[in-house]
């Protein structure tokens, strides 16, 4: 077997951003509307603040407005819910993103559920999850959506393939499993109680690592010719997959960094754009 295809997320993200930029320009010309993403930051966690700033810059580059809502760390649940409701009610806002995590005295799930599903461009509500599973979800969680975009960009066939997802988080492992199932893959989900994860991974045509543990998936587990998508990002630019050893076995593999990460942010922009087009009655042909 030759060298594997490097599934370059930066390239995929660039293609998505160019498309979004073109659509944003068209929406402004046709309807006088600029899409807007509202980001809610609760408290002063430096990592969260950096992520919010990064998303704001990404919006600016493609012609999307961003509205940053900064709330005090000691805010009450009622005030947080009121803030979300005011954004739901604002016709100028097309997408709402509540930056995770929020302070522990707040009910994060209740806050997520308060977001209008039509503006849930981050795919965090149970309504979005349910729609994703049923196959008509507009806005899947951004990282699962990004994974499918990468596989599509590189024309990786999914129908009839055995996909093994390592991890079952509600915003990654579970929804990506549903998206793969909707593409007619046969899906196995591995988790902390799975017996002999290595044997399950060894059967996979497509491996999605989403467990949040550095180099958890070992190279010798990978079947010759499998496609490996590493959705993990750990300190030191290390993914959830043992990259060098997996590279020797895979037919295609995502790098870390530069794989799934850039496409996740581009997916957020794309879904904000789609929400704006929908609210303007302007659907992309």
Active site residues: 55, 99, 122
Strand order, beta sheet including 162-166: 5-6, 252-253, 227-230, 206-209, 162-166, 186-190
Interior/surface letters 242-262, b for 16+ CB within 10 angstroms, e for the rest: bbebbbebbbbbbbbebbbbb
166 dihedral zone (left: phi>0; alpha: psi -120 to 50; beta): beta
| Tokens, residue 199 | 């044997």
d(CA 3, CA 78): 55
Per DSSP, 32 falls in state S
Which helix (H) or strand (E) segment holds residue 87: the answer is: helix 77-89
Three-state secondary structure call for residue 120 = coil
E-strand ranges in the chain read 5-6, 36-42, 65-71, 95-98, 162-166, 186-190, 206-209, 227-230, 252-253
Contact between 126 and 171 (Cβ < 8 Å): no
Contact between 204 and 188 (Cβ < 8 Å): yes
Opening angle at CA 158, ends 129 and 155, nearest 5? 110
| Tokens, residue 232 | 């993990």
């Amino acid at each position: 077997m030759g060298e594997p295809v490097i599934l370059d997320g930066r390239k995929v993200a660039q293609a998505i951003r160019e498309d979004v930029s073109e659509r944003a320009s068209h929406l402004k010309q046709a309807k006088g509307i600029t899409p807007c993403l509202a980001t809610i930051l609760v408290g002063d966690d430096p990592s969260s603040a950096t992520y919010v700033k990064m998303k704001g810059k990404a919006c600016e580059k493609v012609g999307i407005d961003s509205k940053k809502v900064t709330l005090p760390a000691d805010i009450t649940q009622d005030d947080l819910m009121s803030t979300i409701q005011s954004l739901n009610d604002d016709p100028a806002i097309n997408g709402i993103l509540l930056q995770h995590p929020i302070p522990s005295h707040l009910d994060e799930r209740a806050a997520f559920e308060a977001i209008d599903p039509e503006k849930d461009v981050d795919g965090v509500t149970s309504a979005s999850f349910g729609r994703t599973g049923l196959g008509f979800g507009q806005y899947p969680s951004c990282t699962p959506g990004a994974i499918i975009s990468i596989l599509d960009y590189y024309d990786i066939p999914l129908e009839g393939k055995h996909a093994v997802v390592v991890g079952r988080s509600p915003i990654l492992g579970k929804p990506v499993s549903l998206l793969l199932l909707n593409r007619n893959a046969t899906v196995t989900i591995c988790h902390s109680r799975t017996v002999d994860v290595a044997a399950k991974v060894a059967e996979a045509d497509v491996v999605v690592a989403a467990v949040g543990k550095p180099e958890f998936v070992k190279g010798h587990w990978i079947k010759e010719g499998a496609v490996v998508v590493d959705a993990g990002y750990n300190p030191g630019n290390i993914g959830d997959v043992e990259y060098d050893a997996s590279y020797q076995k895979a037919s295609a593999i995502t790098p870390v960094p530069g794989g799934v990460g850039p496409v996740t942010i581009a997916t957020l922009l794309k879904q904000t754009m789609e929400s704006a087009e929908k609210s303007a009655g302007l659907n992309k042909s």
